[in-house]
Amino acid sequence: MKRATAPARPLIALGAGLAAVGTAALLGLPSLAKAPEARLTAAASAPPEGAYWHTRVLLKRPEHRQVGSGANLYSVVQQTLIEEWTAPDGRRWVGSREAGAYPQSAADRAAWRRDGSPTKWTRTANGQTVSLSTKPAKGHVTPVRGDNTYFLAGQRLTYDEVQRLPANPDALKSWLTQAARVSRAPASAVDRNVTSALPSLLHDLPAPKEVRAAAYQALLTMPGVSSRGKSVDGAGRTGAAISIDHQQTGQKDDAIKVTTDLVVDTGTMLLLSQNQTTLKDGKVFPNKTMSQTVLEAGWTNAEPAVPALP
Q: What predicted TM-score, i.e. pTM, was given to this entire model?
A: 0.81
**Sign of the alpha-carbon torsion through 6, 12, 14, 19:** negative
Name which of 13, 2, 41 is nearest 160 in CA terms.
41
Are 54 and 298 contacting, i.e. CB atoms less than 8 angstroms apart? yes
Domain range holding 47? Answer: 30-300
Q: Is residue 64 part of a domain?
A: yes
* Domain assignment present for 92: yes
Contact predicate 279/257, CB 8 Å? yes
Specify if 98 maps to a domain: yes
DSSP H helices, the chain, are: 23-27, 106-114, 159-163, 169-182, 190-200, 209-219
307 lies in some domain: no
- Residue 167 in any domain: the answer is yes
Q: Name which of 194, 201, 164 is nearest 180 in CA terms.
A: 194
Residue 309 lies in a domain: no
Taking the C-alpha atoms of 79, 262, 193 and 268 in order, what is their torsion angle to the nearest 10 degrees?
A: -100
The CA distance from 115 to 132, in Å, is 15
Instruction: Say what the pLDDT of residue 13 is.
Output: 32
- Tens-digit pLDDT string for the chain (310 aa): 333 333 333 333 333 222 222 222 223 222 233 333 555 655 556 788 999 999 999 999 998 889 999 999 999 999 999 999 999 999 999 999 999 999 999 999 999 999 999 999 999 988 889 899 999 999 999 999 987 889 999 899 999 999 999 999 999 999 999 998 887 778 778 898 999 999 999 999 999 999 999 999 999 999 999 999 999 999 999 999 999 998 655 555 557 788 999 999 999 999 999 999 888 777 776 667 889 999 999 999 999 999 999 8
Spacing of C-alpha 29 from chain mean position: 32
pLDDT of 21 reads 27
Q: Are 64 and 286 in contact (CB under 8 A)?
A: yes
- Burial (CB count within 10 angstroms: exposed 0-12, middle 13-18, buried 19+), residue 142: exposed
Domain membership of residue 306 (yes or no) is: no
pLDDT at residue 154 in the model: 87
19 part of a folded domain: no
How confident is the model at residue 247, as a pLDDT?
A: 61
> Could you give the number of structural domains in the chain?
1
The C-alpha atoms of residue 38 and residue 110 are separated, in whole angstroms, by 55
